[in-house]
Amino acid sequence: MMIWNLGSINIDAFFGVTHLPAPGETLVAQSFSQGLGGKGANMSVAAARAAAPVSHIGAIGADGRWTRERLMEYGVDVPHIHQIEVPTGLANIVVDAEGENTIILLQGANGQLTDAMIGAALAEASPGDFVLMQNETNGQVYAAQTARSLGLRVAYAAAPFEADAVAELAGMIDIMILNAVEAAQLEKATGKPVSEQGIRDVIVTLGAEGCKWIKESQQQVFDAYPAQAVDTTGAGDTFTGYLIAGLDRGLGMEGAIDLALKAASLMVARHGTADVIPDLKEIQDQFGL
């Protein structure tokens, strides 16, 4: 089956610093690099590296033509990435010596997708395919409605978190992935536990503690694999891309979560985002699948 990923594409600018800057502080970076990123692009690359067929639905500006080429080199289908007259999304990522980060985003072209662009992509989908979405683009409600009407499975990573976006989508999602902070925000905003949001499968990622799979009133905890974390940026996206790829390839939820945790444990030991997401071979070499 195919994964149709309605997702952001960002130019990630990484600043390595000794500590995260305080308000009003000017800080000299120890290092700088630039690469492919965006929660959507990271998930597409992760899914492709997990050997799943993935087609990215997104928008970039002329300054980001290279991002489309790089996605293609990484095995992602790119015919539904549109070049428009708005600059590519930009993320300034500051990472400190402990691997903590802060990210400032400029949405750019990611916020200019039209229903026609999304509809043209999903018109090529087949029942049982996945539609994957995050919160860094527009168009999620239209994509979810279209996906439902076509018999597609809908997976949604609720990041960056917006309670209203989750509320609008809740009845149309099969799988939601969010972190513990986002889960707490959702419970506060709705006054209901994540198990009662009308979503069949909810995965709450817990960083170094692993994750929780919540299905109706049942919940199962999965431990993380040990890792030497130097930079957690993109680890959640890697987890999600691998999770959906595993499900798409027919693994059960437990097997897909296990694969995703393995991929995330390798990812946190690396600096960078889409360009350093591990592939299946690296996971096999490390864990002997």
Helices and strands per DSSP (H, E), number in the chain: 9, 13
Closest to ligand RIB by CB, 197 or 233: 233
- Decide whether 115 or 162 has the Cβ nearer to ligand RIB: 162
Minimal distance, residue 8 CB to ligand RIB, in Å: 6
Cα–Cα distance for residue pair 71/178, rounded to 1 Å: 24
CB of 130 to ligand RIB, least distance (A): 19
Q: What is the nearest approach in angstroms of ligand RIB to the Cβ of residue 274?
A: 7
Q: Which of 12, 77, 174, 237 is catalytic?
A: 237
Amino acid making up residue 279: D
In what order do the strands lie in the sheet containing 31-37? 31-37, 10-16, 89-95, 101-106
Looking at the Cβ atoms of 77 and 237, the one nearer to ligand RIB is 237
- Beta bridge mates, 83: 60
* Residue closer to ligand RIB, measured from CB, 134 or 146: 134
Beta-carbon contacts of 102 under 8 Å, excluding residues fewer than 6 positions away, are: 20, 93, 94
Residue type, 211: C
CB 173 within 8 A of CB 132: no
Shortest Cβ distance from residue 192 to ligand RIB (Å)?
26
Q: Which residue is nearest to ligand RIB (CB)?
A: 37
Q: Write out the residues near ligand RIB by the rule CB under 6 A.
A: 8, 10, 12, 37-39, 42, 91, 103, 105, 136, 233-234, 237, 273
Let me know: does 89 contact 11? Beta carbons within 8 Å: yes
User: For residues 96 and 136, which CB has a smaller minimum distance to ligand RIB in the complex?
Assistant: 136
Other C-beta atoms within 10 Å of 39: how many?
30
Minimum CB–partner distance for residue 133 and ligand RIB (Å): 14
Q: Among residues 46 and 245, whose Cβ is nearest to ligand RIB?
A: 46
Tokens of 155: 């997976």
The DSSP element (H or E) to which 179 belongs, if any, is strand 175-179
Identify the sign of the CA torsion 129, 132, 138, 143. positive
**Residue 237 falls in the annotated catalytic set:** yes
Structure token digits, residue 126: 């087949």
Q: Give me the least distance between CB of 95 and ligand RIB, in Å please.
A: 11
DSSP 8-state secondary structure symbol assigned to residue 18: S
Active-site residue set:
237
